A and B are shown apart, each in its own frame.
Chain A
Amino acid sequence: MLELIVISTLNGVLFGMLLFLMASGLTVIFSMLGVLNFAHASFYMLGAFFGFQISRWFGFWPALLFAPLLAGAIGAAVERFGLRRVHRNGHVAELLFTFGLAFAIEEIVQIIWGKSPVDFRPPALLDFPAFTIFSTNYPAYKMFMLAVSIVIFIGLLLVLKKTRVGLIVQAALTHPHMVGHLGHNVERIFMLVFGVGTALAAVAGVIAGPSLVTQSNMAGLLGPILFVVVVVGGLGSLPGAFIASLLIGLVQTFAVSINGSLASVFGPLGPDLAQSWLSDIWNVTVAQIAPIMPYLLLVLILIFRPMGLLGTRET
């Protein structure tokens, strides 16, 4: 039991940190540009596939550097030549543009790398068990993932709190118009923020690719969860996104490892229920409903706190 708790906590925090790498970019982009980047998870996927391709040609470490740069450059180009143009047509058009982009990126990835998972392995340097708890080997690569995401998290925090750019971004989180009035080149900041945000998502993709499955549907699987994180945390709130990322990471990881069902807990009380039309709900295990846990959380949050955990904005 203790083993399960320790391992699940580690995995949960890891997944949560990965989610936050993406959710932070998404939140900052949303706060500044007012547009929810539907294609954000697609840049995560692009990061994973670029990482796979570059690590095949030059090795893993160049991939860790260049794949996010490449994805970030594409992101900046999307903002410069796509979003900025669509901006005139309103928020719905912007959201739909990123929606179409997500669709197109998935198709392009399918065309180039196929529909089946690619063989993206962790580098040999990190391919050993880091430590053993209660007979479970914990891979060093996962510790590396955790370390990278924590380093980036701290770096992001420092940039936001200590630098001039960070101050402007922070100001734009709450008063986007005022920043423009103060004479900053808002368009260039937007492009920069969009590029950095997508590059962060791509970092998450490169480090998650070898550990999770690198496949053309990975964006479609992760995208909705990412939006749940942002809504649950409160739109436009970075601390909220952080808490929600960890919460969802932990909830989902713990749910996967629990094998109980209603029937196994209350089974003796109502043996005939297992045969009735309720049998599906009665027999389903917690592990089986793990994929829908984030969405259940979303519904609960919407009922009890429609703004999100730390949200202040109405829209």
Chain B
Amino acid sequence: MTDLASRVAPPRPALSDRLKFYGIWIATALTLLLLPKIFASGGSLTTFSLVGISIIFALSYNILLGQTGMLSFGHAVYYGLGGFLAIHAINLLGGNKWPIPLPLVPLIGGVAGLFFAALIGWVMTQRSGTAFAMISLGLAELVASSALILRTFFGGEAGISANRTKLFKLFGLNFGPQIQIYYLVAAWTLIAIIAMYALTRTPLGRMCNAVRDNPERVQFVGYDPHVVRYLAFCFSGFFAGIAGALAAINFEIANSAYLGAVQSGTVLFAAYIGGIGFFIGPIVGAIFVTILSLGLSDLTHVWQLYFGLFFIAVVMFTPGGITGLMMMHRPLLRAGMLTQMLPSYLLAALPTLALVTGLMLMIETTVHYTVNPGESPHIKAFGIPFNAASPLTWTISAVLIVAGFVLARLAWARVGHTWDTTLTAARAKVHAR
């Protein structure tokens, strides 16, 4: 028996591998600890808190999409319900002076998310694929519309607010200042990342991948794909609830927007743009999307359009997301041949940049004429002033778009060709070693 086990089990990783593995986690913890020392302003602390929350949320989403292959359009339901339960819990705990400190409130949100996911999930996870996607959308609409009807619990349009500082104080922390909230979010983020990573290494996590790749096979082996999907759904709801509770603590309010389609769409964008194929993908995506949406909204009125177009571009050209794109280059990096790709990348970047600039110029000019036609044509987008009324602007935009498009097509075809030859060479080189 032991003989069999030792033969089946993978070999114990070497010391250097283990050091590398734990080193990454320790480095993450240190980064989270030291971040506020480097960027100490109030604005950046708020940004970091939002990023942390969205990391947990995006990772919980990826349990569904990336690991179990379930595309959900209603993940905000569990986020929002977790948030509402957390707000009610804060009010209840503060009002009754129960000795439960604020750092434990996210757990309440998580349990709420778990409860509702367990309740709704059994029916939903009966179907997979496209049917699941539509059902998740329908149920999300059901919950979001019900939230406006059940006014006592959800507070109608205004939402429910709470005061996080009135809770039982542990070690004298009252969680008034943003720095304390940041550390609370950071701690929960680290815990949640570790827990979700651990989940992917369990037999359940492996079965989730199997259900994603080939549900029929899973049935042959003797598992019920429905049950596996259901369990994944419950875990996902749990972590989404934690994220929602943290958001509620951060803003001290929960309203129906927490449950809405926009929130569900944002987490989908974050997870997919980051890359759903790797564990780290949604983390990258959450950081990227949160900072992008905060930053872009200062630069232009129509940032949501750019956001949507960017998402479409990612879906069309790099379905692996940002991490997928980077991981693609790993074999080249190993063979030390990454530099061979650089010239053709640079060559392709130039016309692509021209195309993008032309499109942006066109969009901003159009926006000037449709959204605020009365104003002066000397507009400023992305900090660059230009004259929207001048024919020169239109000509430049048209030339950039047409020339950029034609040249970009040629250049990218060349990139594809170089890529193929370089990759083959790199593989041969690694193989020869």
- Residues of A bordering B, CB below 8 Å: 30, 35-36, 82, 85-86, 89-93, 95-97, 99-101, 103-104, 107-108, 111-114, 220, 224, 227-228, 230-231, 235, 277, 279-281, 284, 288-289, 291-292, 294-296, 298-299, 302-303, 306, 314-315
Contact = CB atoms under 8 A, between A and B. Distances in A.
B231 to A, nearest CB: 19
A92 B73 CA distance: 12
Contacts of B295: none
B149 A89 contact: no
B139 A295 contact: yes
B144 to A, nearest CB: 9
Given A36-B134, A289-B149, A303-B123, A101 B312 contact: yes
A284 B149 CA distance: 7
Contacts of A112: 366, 370
Interface stretch (B124-132, B186-194, B200-208, B395-403): B124-132
B253 interface: no
A92 B71 contact: yes
A107 B296 CA distance: 15
Contacts of B96: none
Contact of A235 (B128, B131, B139, B145): B131
Given A96-B272, A103-B265, A224-B141, A85 B153 contact: no
B210 interface: no
Nearest to B73: A99
Nearest to B124: A302
B137 A227 contact: yes
A116 B371 CA distance: 12
B288 interface: no
B133 A295 contact: no
Contacts of A101: 312
A100 B311 contact: yes
Contacts of B126: 302, 306
Q: Main SS of chain B's interface residues?
A: helix
30 contacts: A30-B130, A35-B130, A85-B316, A86-B316, A90-B319, A91-B129, A96-B268, A103-B308, A103-B311, A107-B308, A111-B305, A111-B371, A112-B370, A113-B370, A114-B370, A224-B138, A228-B134, A228-B138, A231-B134, A231-B135, A235-B130, A235-B131, A277-B152, A292-B141, A292-B142, A292-B145, A292-B149, A295-B139, A299-B142, A306-B127
A292 B145 CA distance: 6
Contact of B149 (A35, A85, A111, A280): A280
Contacts of A36: 130, 133-134
B315 A298 contact: no
B309 interface: yes
Interface residues of B, number: 46
A302 B123 contact: yes
Residue from A100, A228, A303 having most chain B Cβ neighbours under 10 A: A100
Given A96-B268, A231-B131, A292-B141, 13 more contacts: A82-B316, A91-B129, A92-B69, A96-B71, A112-B366, A235-B131, A280-B152, A292-B142, A294-B138, A298-B135, A299-B142, A315-B128, A315-B129
B150 A280 contact: yes
A227 B305 contact: no
B302 interface: yes
A280 B151 contact: yes
B261 interface: yes
Contacts of B141: 224, 292, 295
Interface in B309-346: 309, 311-312, 315-316, 319
A291 B129 CA distance: 26
Kindly list the 4 A-B residue pairs having the minimum CB-CB distance in the complex, ordered from nearest. Answer: A295-B142, A104-B308, A107-B305, A89-B319
Nearest to A220: B261
Nearest to B318: A89
B304 interface: yes
B312 A97 contact: yes
Residue from A35, A90, A292, A306 having most chain B Cβ neighbours under 10 A: A292
A289 B147 CA distance: 11
A130 to B, nearest CB: 33
Contacts of B371: 111, 114
Given A280-B152, A295-B141, A95 B312 contact: no
B146 interface: yes
A315 B304 CA distance: 32
B389 interface: no
Contact of B71 (A95, A97, A220, A288): A95
Interface in B272-296: 272
Given A111-B367, A280-B150, A93 B133 contact: no
Nearest to A34: B130
A86 B311 CA distance: 13
Contacts of A302: 123-124, 126-127, 135
Nearest to B133: A95
A104 B319 contact: no
B135 A97 contact: no
Contacts of A113: 370
A134 to B, nearest CB: 31
Contacts of A82: 312, 316
A101 B311 CA distance: 9
A109 to B, nearest CB: 10
A17 B311 CA distance: 34
Residue from A227, A235, A306 having most chain B Cβ neighbours under 10 A: A227
